[in-house]
């Protein structure tokens, strides 16, 4: 939000922190909300100096009129003249030093606004809230002579720019503030658009990952009757062959210690983050452990899919496409090492 001062001798000058872009060269649409119609001469000359010619001004003298106009039209910027002033108060400390009872009772009352006629004032904070509640995200510039902390906070929450200047519509800082408000709104709109697009992409990638995992599960399940034992009963003895046979009938049960499963989970996580890199030795070691345990390729893929599902569930809103691609590479590399291990054991038996 604009950072303006309230020095009495000169008006505040906004800084171009947001990097305001150029105004539309023709037909800048401005809605000005003020009790009295402002003089357009100074504003027109300032806009002309910025290269924005033939601006279209629209004036609204009441909140109802402004809301009615915004319901039917959109504007490049809305400028609202907040004429309300902070109400001064007389406060006295409590206790024995309280001398308020000696003063004229009228002095202890809150001094009313100078504009007591509601017809001649605009409830600017309520108008801004109503504009935002209606779904209008047009840039808003609040033009005022003074501002207190409460009003500043309210306008900040409603994404408004503030210009504190005693000359109001004649202020030379008005056009730079309008430019900054337009640039700020453009940035917010682009951010929201990218956020929506990113959420849609994440949902689409998550659906694709779920569909791919389901296809892989079906593929592994359909190939269950075609697995080859590669002579697992001869080098591991009767006990491990029995465990292998039982695990073969129940694909989700593996004759593996929990430490090996956790090790595979960590290896998968590291592979996803770093890629293959220097993990070839660890993958070959894991393939050797799986072959010693008697896991068939189908069971190994079941184990792999279960670990991938656990990893994908923990991603939250992060992308899954990269994870699935790296996981597929790990499965391929693991199958190569597992096949080599079984081939080596078969040749040793022969």
- Indicate whether 49 and 143 sit together in one domain: yes
pLDDT of residue 80: 93
Confidence band of 106 (pLDDT split at 50, 70, 90): very low
pLDDT at 96: 53
Same domain, 263 and 314: yes
d(CA 319, CA 207): 11
The pLDDT confidence band at residue 344, using thresholds 50, 70 and 90, is confident
* Rg over CA atoms, the chain: 36
Domain count for the chain, please give it: 2
Q: Are residues 41 and 174 in the same domain?
A: yes
Angle between helices 280-293 and 321-349 (to 10 degrees): 60
- For 212-271, the pLDDT digits (tens) are 888 888 877 765 544 444 333 333 433 443 343 344 444 445 567 888 888 888 998 888
On whether both 294 and 336 belong to a single domain, the answer is yes
DSSP letter at 162? Answer: E
Specify the CATH number for the domain of residue 58. 3.40.50.2300
What is the rounded distance in angstroms from the CA atom of residue 201 to the CA atom of residue 321? Answer: 10
Query: Per residue in 304-319, pLDDT tens?
Result: 888 888 888 877 656 7
Last residue of a domain, one of 193, 210, 235: 193
For residue 19, tell me if it sits in a domain. Answer: no
DSSP codes joined into one string, 233-299: HHHHHHHHHHHHHHHHHSTT--S--HHHHHHHHHHHHHHHHH-STT-HHHHHHHHHHHHHHT--HHH
* Higher-scoring residue by pLDDT: 296, 78: 78
For residues 175 and 23, what is the distance between their CA atoms, to the nearest angstrom? 9
What 3-state DSSP class applies to 337? helix
- Two structure tokens written together for 159: 């994404």
Q: When comparing pLDDT for 25 and 196, which is higher?
A: 196
- Model confidence at 26, pLDDT cuts 50, 70, 90, reads confident
Range of the domain at 150: 29-86+102-193
User: Mean of the pLDDT values across residues 287-293?
Assistant: 86
Q: Are residues 174 and 59 in the same domain?
A: yes
């Amino acid at each position: 939000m604009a950072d303006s001062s309230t020095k009495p001798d000169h008006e505040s000058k906004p800084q171009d922190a947001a990097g305001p872009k150029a105004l539309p060269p023709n037909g800048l649409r401005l809605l000005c909300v003020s009790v009295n119609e402002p003089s357009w001469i100074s504003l027109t000359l300032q806009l002309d100096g910025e290269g924005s010619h033939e601006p279209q001004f629209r004036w609204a003298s009441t909140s109802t009129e402004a809301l009615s106009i915004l319901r039917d039209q959109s504007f490049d910027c809305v400028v609202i003249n907040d004429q309300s002033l902070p109400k001064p108060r007389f406060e006295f400390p409590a206790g024995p030093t309280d001398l308020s009872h000696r003063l004229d009772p009228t002095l202890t009352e809150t001094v009313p606004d100078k504009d007591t006629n509601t017809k001649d004032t605009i409830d600017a904070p309520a108008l801004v809230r109503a504009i935002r509640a209606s779904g209008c995200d047009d840039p808003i510039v609040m033009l005022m002579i003074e501002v207190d902390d409460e009003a500043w906070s309210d306008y900040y929450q409603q994404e408004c720019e503030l210009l504190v200047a005693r000359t109001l519509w004649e202020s030379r800082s008005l056009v730079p503030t309008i430019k900054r408000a337009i640039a700020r709104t453009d940035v917010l709109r682009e951010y929201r658009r990218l956020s929506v697009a990113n959420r849609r992409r994440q949902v689409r990638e998550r659906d694709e990952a779920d569909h791919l995992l389901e296809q892989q599960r079906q593929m592994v399940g359909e190939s269950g009757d075609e697995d080859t034992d590669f002579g697992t009963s001869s080098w591991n003895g009767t006990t491990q062959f029995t465990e292998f046979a039982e695990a073969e009938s129940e694909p989700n049960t593996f004759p593996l210690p929990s430490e090996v499963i956790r090790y595979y989970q960590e290896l998968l996580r590291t592979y996803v983050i770093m890629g293959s890199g220097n993990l070839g030795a660890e993958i070959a070691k894991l393939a050797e452990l799986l072959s010693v345990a008697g896991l068939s390729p189908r069971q190994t893929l079941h184990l792999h899919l279960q670990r991938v599902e656990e990893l994908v569930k923990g991603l939250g809103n992060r992308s899954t496409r990269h994870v699935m691609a790296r996981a597929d590479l790990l499965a391929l590399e693991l199958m190569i090492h597992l096949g080599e291990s079984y081939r080596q054991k078969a040749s040793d038996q022969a």
